[in-house]
Amino acid sequence: MNKLLLIAVAGGLGSLARYGLTGLVQRLDGVGFAWGTPVVNLCGCFLFGLIWSLAEERMMISGETRAVVLTGFMGAFTTFSTYIFETGELLRDAQYGLAAWNVGFQTVGGLIIFFIGLAAGRYV
């Protein structure tokens, strides 16, 4: 139960961090392209890689702390980093077909489902 509470608190902090960083980037950029989301996603990918390396390769972060930070904080900050991590693991394991399928399925599938959701919302 304690672990679940820590994940929930970390998730709240990740949401606030995402909101704050996205807002800051948008204020600095003005009214152009929505740079906040890619900045958050790229920062999330860097942080996920850093935390994973420190936990798995350097043993500087415990498994429980890794779970709280990656599932809680990073899960709320950006799930894109998990998507990239999983694709990276497939590439590292030379599973190129599955990696390409993962990218295509989630990207193209996500766009298709997004537009289906928009259409469904119009008919509700």
Is residue 30 included in any domain, yes or no? Answer: yes
Is residue 102 included in any domain, yes or no? Answer: no
CB-based contacts of 74, cutoff 8 Å, min separation 6: 14, 44, 47, 48, 51, 81, 82
- State both tokens at 103: 């990218």
Is residue 16 included in any domain, yes or no? Answer: yes
State how far the Cα of 1 lies from the Cα of 6, in Å rounded to an integer: 9
Alpha carbon distance, N-terminus to C-terminus of the chain: 39
Is residue 60 included in any domain, yes or no? Answer: yes
State how far the Cα of 40 lies from the Cα of 76, in Å rounded to an integer: 11
**Residue 13 belongs to domain spanning:** 2-78
Is residue 74 included in any domain, yes or no? Answer: yes
Look at residue 60 in the predicted model and tell me its pLDDT: 84
* Assessment of whether the complete model's pTM goes beyond 0.85: no
Look at residue 63 in the predicted model and tell me its pLDDT: 82
Helix pair angle (2-29, 36-56), 10° resolution: 140
Is residue 98 included in any domain, yes or no? Answer: no
Look at residue 8 in the predicted model and tell me its pLDDT: 95
Q: What is the pLDDT along the chain (124 residues), one digit of tens a residue?
A: 798 999 999 999 999 999 999 999 988 887 778 888 899 999 999 999 999 888 888 888 888 888 899 999 999 999 899 999 999 999 999 999 999 999 999 999 999 999 999 999 999 8
Is residue 20 included in any domain, yes or no? Answer: yes
- Overall domain count for the chain: 1
Is residue 100 included in any domain, yes or no? Answer: no
Taking alpha carbons only, the member of 18, 124, 20, 12 closest to residue 68 is 12
Look at residue 55 in the predicted model and tell me its pLDDT: 87
